[in-house]
Amino acid sequence: MAFRTAHISLTVAAFGVLAFIFGVVAENKKPASGTPITGKGVVICKYPSDPTVALGSLSIVALFLSACFGFFSVFYPYKGKSIPNEALFRSTTLVVFFIVALGVSVLAEGMMLWATITEGLHITRNVHHNLNYECPTAKTGLFGGAAFLALDASLFWLICQMLTLNARTDYLEEDDPKGEYGQVLVSEYDARAKP
Tens-digit pLDDT profile for residues 88-118: 888 889 999 999 999 999 999 999 999 999 9
In a domain, 110, yes or no: yes
Neighbours of 143 (CB within 10 A): 28
Share of the chain above pLDDT 90, in %: 42
In a domain, 168, yes or no: yes
Question: How far is residue 149's CA from residue 155's CA, in Å, rounded to a whole number?
Answer: 10
In a domain, 195, yes or no: no
Give the burial class of 142: count Cβ atoms within 10 A of its Cβ; 0-12 exposed, 13-18 middle, 19 or more buried. buried
pLDDT band of residue 1 (cuts 50, 70, 90) is: very low
Specify the 3-state DSSP secondary structure of 72: helix
Neighbours of 134 (CB within 10 A): 11
Structurally, the chain folds into a number of domains equal to: 1
In a domain, 149, yes or no: yes
In a domain, 131, yes or no: no
Answer whether 107's CB lies under 8 Å from 148's CB: no
In a domain, 112, yes or no: yes
Q: If you ran DSSP here, which 8-state letter would residue 47 be given? A: P
Residues 63-85: what's their mean pLDDT? 85
Answer whether 44's CB lies under 8 Å from 37's CB: yes
Residues 9-18: what's their mean pLDDT? 93
In a domain, 17, yes or no: yes
Sign of CA dihedral 126, 131, 136, 139: negative
In a domain, 183, yes or no: no
Residues 67-78: what's their mean pLDDT? 87
- Among 168, 162, 158, 192, CA closest to 14: 158
pLDDT band of residue 140 (cuts 50, 70, 90) is: confident
Share of the chain above pLDDT 70, in %: 87
Lowest mean pLDDT among 1-10, 129-138, 185-194: 185-194
The boundaries of the domain holding residue 22 are 5-32+51-125+136-173
